[in-house]
Structure 1
Amino acid sequence: MIQKRSLFIYFWFLATGLSVQAQATQAETPPKSAWRLGGNIGLNFGNNSYFSFGISPNLGYQVSPKLLLGTSLGYAYQKSNYFKNNLFSGGPFLNYSLLQNIFTHAHLEYFNGTRKFYMDGLNEKKVSDEEAALWLGGGYRTNGRVGYQIGLMYNVLYNENKSIFNSPFNTFSGVIIAL
């Protein structure tokens, strides 16, 4: 159930981004500053009273027309009938443009937080988490002073037996503003 909703939201954002790009005009002036402010906010709902919220702002610098270097910070909260998570993250990233709107993405990110597991409604087990992830992937972005990006990443450091993530794959989408 959670996966279907997430995929629907992902493709809705993709369609929205493509329609925004289709409405852009050639007369747009290029941004005067090389600084880029961006990020995303996410909500998710599911079975067993599952709820999650995440926010991940980032700041980048356009080193060249093809290369953007930056850093991100993030916070994620998840709760269900069986657990509660608080997770903080941060790390450097780079985007390299292959074509005008297609880019590759690399993001080294460190995660730190706590999880509480509710065993029988009375007892709980608290676990501290920390993990490094190296996300490699790519995506599509629109141009202009305010742009939209969407993409897919793979965590090359993923270890199924030790990871805090359910999968090595992660989608991303968000807004980028040229300052």
Structure 2
Amino acid sequence: MKKFIITVMLMCSGSAFSQISIGTPAQENNRWTFGGGIGLGFGSNSNFYLQASPRVGYMITNDLEGGVVGSVSWQTSDFHRSTMFGVGPFANYYFARSFYIGANLQHYFINYKDKVYDYKVNEEETALYLGGGYMQRIGNNSFLQLGLMYNVLYKERTSIFSSGLIPNIGFVVGL
């Protein structure tokens, strides 16, 4: 009888301990964030566009994140072909867990070929994007980011970009 009571007591205490452990949130020590975006486009004249931009960040405080973002894009059509690589630091400040403001400095390496005139260009350009946006929670610690950024270094006549204003859509895990 003693063995039966001891066994039942151990099972009850183990059950109570496991319920307490499950009900108590685990302490989160991981401050790293991961995310990015992808793009795909089709158009007339056999135009095809593919883009990826991974990012890795670190939560410096509960509301301030800093990190590195990269980008690679490939575009081709009947008339031209281009490849572009970019890398640089970023910082985001989050407020009300639904909004953010940010800065992103990107240095791009561009390889462009005009298929009609057999013209090739290898250029570099730096862009400083400032802006912000809205975040929608899509999981436990995952968010969809919708925002608008402006390249404050954009010069209409000398830039390879068609505009200084860019919309951005991306995902972040770890906030």
Short-chain TM bin: 0.7 to 0.9
Q: Percent identity?
A: 37
Retained in 2: the 8 A contact 1:30–1:145? no
Q: In the alignment, which of 169, 174, 177 is matched to residue 173 of structure 2?
A: 177
Which structure 1 residue ranges, 5 or more long, are not aligned? 1-27
| Cα 1:132–1:30 shift into 2, 3 Å | farther
| Cα 1:30–1:49 shift into 2, 3 Å | farther
Distance 2:122 2:42 in 1: 24
Partner of 1:75: 72
Deviation at 1:32, TM superposition (A): 4.2
Distance 2:79 2:95 in 1: 44
Q: Describe the SS at the equivalent of 1:78.
A: strand
Bigger Cα Rg? 2
Partner of 1:14: none
Partner of 2:104: 107
Amino acid at match of 2:38: I
Partner of 2:52: 55
Deviation at 1:99, TM superposition (A): 2.9
Distance 2:27 2:120 in 1: 50
Q: In the alignment, which of 128, 147, 157 is matched to residue 143 of structure 2?
A: 147
| Cα 1:30–1:173 shift into 2, 3 Å | farther
Q: In the alignment, which of 129, 152, 175 is matched to residue 123 of structure 2?
A: 129
Deviation at 1:98, TM superposition (A): 3.3
Calculate the TM-score normalised by the size of structure 2: 0.79
Deviation at 1:113, TM superposition (A): 2.0
Partner of 1:161: 157
Calculate the TM-score normalised by the size of structure 1: 0.78
Deviation at 1:76, TM superposition (A): 0.4
Which structure 2 residue ranges, 5 or more long, are not aligned? 1-24
Deviation at 1:29, TM superposition (A): 7.8
Amino acid at match of 2:120: K
RMSD: 1.8
Distance 1:39 1:101 in 2: 18
Q: Describe the SS at the equivalent of 1:161.
A: coil
1:65 aligns with 2:62: yes
147-156 vs 96-105, greater mean Cα deviation: 96-105
Deviation at 1:108, TM superposition (A): 0.4
How many matched pairs? 149
1:45 aligns with 2:45: no
Amino acid at match of 2:168: F
